[in-house]
């Protein structure tokens, strides 16, 4: 049962308080009819709120600090890997230059320095790989969150 507007005659849906065409107030429904059900309304304070955007890097500050520590340690290993053969040469020269020095042992220090350099370099690569893995996990979590927001 539509409600006609008394000003312009437009038929309005039941339960309307104002005319959809001219905006004038509509007459109250007849006394014998049941009043229309109230529209469902939720106050803004009670409406569910979307969680604010927080990136994975902001969400896990301890992990970000750990990532920084690992990166610094990896760079220390890179520097030490470059210095290890140099220290081996200096140590070999110092041993050989002593009175009665052992010239045979001098290359051994150099080789040990190179060996330490290789191991430290490999360790640094492993640490940098761990940092990259953390970055991939951060990015993956952000992508999953974005997809979930889009799909509802």
pLDDT mean values, one per 10 residues, the chain (152 residues): 80 82 74 60 63 69 84 91 88 83 79 89 90 85 84 74
CA angle 91, 96, 97 (to 5 degrees): 100
In a domain, 53, yes or no: no
- Containing domain of residue 68, as a range? 60-151
In a domain, 69, yes or no: yes
In a domain, 25, yes or no: no
Q: How far apart are CA 30 and CA 17, in angstroms?
A: 13
In a domain, 52, yes or no: no
pLDDT of residue 41: 64
In a domain, 65, yes or no: yes
For residue 91, give the 3-state DSSP assignment: helix
CA angle 113, 124, 120 (to 5 degrees): 15
pLDDT of residue 130: 87
In a domain, 34, yes or no: no
In a domain, 128, yes or no: yes
Its pTM surpasses 0.75: no
Residue 120's alpha-carbon distances to 41, 115, 130, in angstroms, are: 66, 9, 15
Q: Report the number of distinct structural domains present in the chain.
A: 1
Q: How far apart are CA 67 and CA 131, in angstroms?
A: 6
In a domain, 15, yes or no: no
For residue 18, give the 3-state DSSP assignment: strand
Provide CB contacts within 8 A for 57, sequence distance 6+. Answer: 64, 138
pLDDT of residue 79: 92
């Amino acid at each position: 049962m539509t409600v006609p507007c008394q000003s312009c005659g437009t038929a309005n849906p039941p339960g309307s308080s104002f005319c959809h065409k001219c905006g004038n107030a509509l007459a109250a429904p007849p006394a014998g009819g049941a009043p229309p059900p109230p529209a469902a309304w939720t106050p803004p304070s009670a409406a569910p709120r979307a969680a604010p955007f927080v990136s994975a890097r902001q969400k896990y500050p301890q992990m970000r600090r750990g990532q920084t520590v690992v990166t610094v340690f990896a760079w220390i290993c890179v520097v030490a890997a470059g210095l290890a053969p140099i220290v081996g040469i200096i140590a070999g020269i110092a041993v050989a230059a002593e009175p009665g020095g052992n010239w045979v042992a001098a290359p051994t220090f150099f080789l040990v320095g190179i060996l330490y350099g290789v191991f430290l370099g490999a360790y640094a690569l492993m640490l940098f790989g761990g940092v990259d893995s953390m970055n991939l996990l951060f990015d993956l979590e952000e992508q999953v969150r974005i997809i979930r927001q889009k799909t509802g």
